[in-house]
Amino acid sequence: MEELTWLGNEIAKEAEEMGTDDGFLNFTLEEIRSENYIVNTINIEDLVSNDENFKEFLDSQPEIREFEGDCFSMDPIVSSEGRILDGWNRINQLTQDGVTKIRVLQGVKVN
């Protein structure tokens, strides 16, 4: 069975429409656009070990920020290298809820 692949432009547009606290940086949107995406289930522990910035974020965020709207309307976006491009607060919430595996939009390098 062939995996369904979404274009980075589509994912970036959807993420921008969903929004984030302070809006997306153009750099982040360009990074999202630079890859295509598949849905993948991944261990949260692997996400933490692959992204030092996210690990520092988790260590510094004892409480979950309040969400506006449906916080789980879009899966977190993870680059092909394992960096979390969007969804830090959602993953933080799931971690504190005891969830160990999550669905993500996993980047796939474009040839």
pTM of the model: 0.86
Q: What was the pLDDT predicted at 68?
A: 57
Residue 104 is assigned to a structural domain of this protein = yes
Q: Comparing 62 with 85, which gets the higher pLDDT?
A: 85
Q: State how many domains the chain has.
A: 1
Contact assessment for residue 81 and residue 50, using Cβ atoms and an 8 Å cutoff: yes
Specify the DSSP class assigned to residue 63.
Answer: S
Distance of CA 106 to the CA centre of its chain: 8
pLDDT reading at 49 higher than 80: yes
Residue 68 contacts by C-beta under 8 Å, 6 or more apart in sequence?
Answer: 19
Q: Can you list the alpha helix ranges (DSSP code H) found in 19-87?
A: 26-33, 44-50, 52-60
Beta bridge partners of 41: 103
Range of the domain at 81: 8-109
Is 65 inside any structural domain?
Answer: yes
> pLDDT at position 20, please?
66
Question: Is 3 within the bounds of a domain?
Answer: no
Query: Which has more confidence, 19 or 58?
Result: 58
